[in-house]
Chains A and B, each alone.
Chain A
């Protein structure tokens, strides 16, 4: 199916590590990208593929893929990392794009 599945919410203590997962049948064929969205703002790309971080995104953000599951890891989470995180990927045919339902990250 053309779906990406994410856990609805996770929390992490300040300075600790959190992993957000994204599951989809075609993630073995296409890269996942990750976006953070804060309330009232547009999404911002934080990671594409397993390791490509745009300029300005700190290196505490990293990615990995295993089978049909992509993961975004925040190592040493900071208060500013709070927000909704969405994964995306191409779908089975590569012409369409699919987003996961989003994961709300709370830094305690």
Chain B
């Protein structure tokens, strides 16, 4: 079935880097914009970044701009999030989500999430 599977989370020290991956299956990945959304422990959802279907446009939340980079490889049906200069407040479950492409701009498919813990 249509699915997104994140990987790459783990425990990392402040200031270090981590790259998350999101593997898409059972849909035409190259047709859809894709997002990253995170959720700190016990907190609400926070949008992180979006990349257009062709990868030409990328936008970031102010909280991660200049530190995180979103990218995609349509030949591998995979979305990435390169996270540099990590801080303790980046600790969260990171979800990838598909943009449904409609004017409503909803996230119709979500992955199960991958946990990132930034701690010394």
Contact = CB atoms under 8 A, between A and B. Distances in A.
Contact of A33 (B61, B106, B113): B106
Kindly state the interface size class of chain B when it binds its partner.
20 to 34
Interface string B95-112: 100001011111110111
A49 interface: yes
Contacts, number: 70
A83 B119 CA distance: 30
A26 interface: no
Main secondary structure of the interface of A (DSSP, over half): strand
B44 A101 contact: yes
A48 B102 contact: yes
Question: Which 3 pairs of residues, A with B, have the shortest CB-CB distance?
Answer: A48-B106, A48-B104, A33-B106
Interface of B: 35, 37, 44-47, 50, 57, 59, 61, 95, 100, 102-108, 110-113
Interface of A: 30-31, 33, 35, 37, 42-45, 48-49, 52, 54, 84, 86, 88-90, 95-102
